[in-house]
Structure 1
């Protein structure tokens, strides 16, 4: 039985009411930012991060109860770490290079829509962040990807996609993930600050099962206190953790690189007559910058990587805009 997008939306709206969420984020990927259209064409993520809970060995909240249940896992400590619940709703879409074509081109990519709900717990101290989570989602018409892309293309004046009647699905998606981030160096000068860090994680699911590692360097004034500046990539909702721990106006520019091992690809396993073969892994580069205030933050990033499709030598590139608020 396929869970519809409506159920995911209702659940994502009700759960934040049970916890006093401290951070809200809206993130939008689109390859139109780099002047192309095809492969990974659009993605939207809406995220909540709950208030940080300390001294969970003495605290009986739901967040602390979940932390206690996960305490045997590496990186979870009830006594000397903060803990926060996270919730994200994500939708992505993949299309062939020629979206004006109505009939399938089996030498190109199929239309694929995917929506998923992600629930996680993050624990952190001054230099380390650990996150564990689960996800459930759908591939196919119930993902709502067709309607979303048509709305976006109508607003931006782009070509209307014609081939969604042949999209892959319907299927149920599930999985679990782990993330660890570490601050290596944080240096404060007279006016500028700089930071170097890395992150790695495993996302085991039956849509795009991957293992990923990346490092970053950023420089700016009054840098945000989050552990990962790459809001569109490896960080998921973990990129929002600690974001508003500082005060006042700040800005940042950053560069990051990453490598990703692809253990499972839904496109390869379920593409049928389409000629799709996934690479074993990809390498990528991220450039970005942003500004932050007491209760608002904005970032703009550009990302490029080798194509995850083996027969393609084209660079997979897209841009991202992220808006974050402290609630």
Structure 2
């Protein structure tokens, strides 16, 4: 194991979980290190890469950089979660090894982290070109509905490290080596119960370009486990429902939250699925064939999804479930009308 120590207690740690992307992660680390200040450090957690990752990164001697390698491959999602639990910075920011952080934005990123001491987690908007004011959400319900259960790309998420590392849900996920792709969304809900959240609207983090992704297959997903399939969305929906019911919100807030989760997941399992399956770049990246999804299949998928929800034993009654479904289907039908 190689572990180069970085300066103690910087404000921000950039956490980069990696596997077999030696050229990209090497460039990413060196680009970020172009920022001259000591308010940051960088931690790369390697999930037992078989390429030149260790060899390349061992040549970096900047004391702000640390490289750690797992003893065995623990899976992509557990590696991500573990990476965020290791740094010494007050805030841990996630950047996937295939994505990019503009070092010229780091100084402003530091300023944004200092501006509100009650913020315990948040997300930096991805792929934006202009800086706009940040949005701070109140603790509990407002932070949950705006920052959790969104099934978003995880790059740019950040946490107060001392709070994150002590979450019971995190420890459970690491013990179980959970491969649920949106663990960060569940973590966000738990963090929201403990403090405010912030959406940082700063051009800083950027996802991998479409052409690059198309020609570089995913190490995590393929036809057998693709995260946006209707079957996986059902599992995602169940995971979010189980989490939402354990948060300790009021009955009314829990009911509203479940309604939002239902509507969002209904759209993801139908219209978003239709869009993804027609996108050649997305399908090439995940090593699956494109397929045209017709409206008859969309309706069938929505019926299966909704029936699953109505049958599920959760903390709300059938009448409340029916009201949630009616509101969800109003949005569903409106979407069809707009698309046609």
Q: Same fold (TM over 0.5)?
A: no
Larger helix proportion, structure 1 or 2?
Answer: 2
Instruction: Tell which structure's C-alpha radius of gyration is larger.
Output: 2
Name the structure where strand makes up a greater proportion of residues. 1
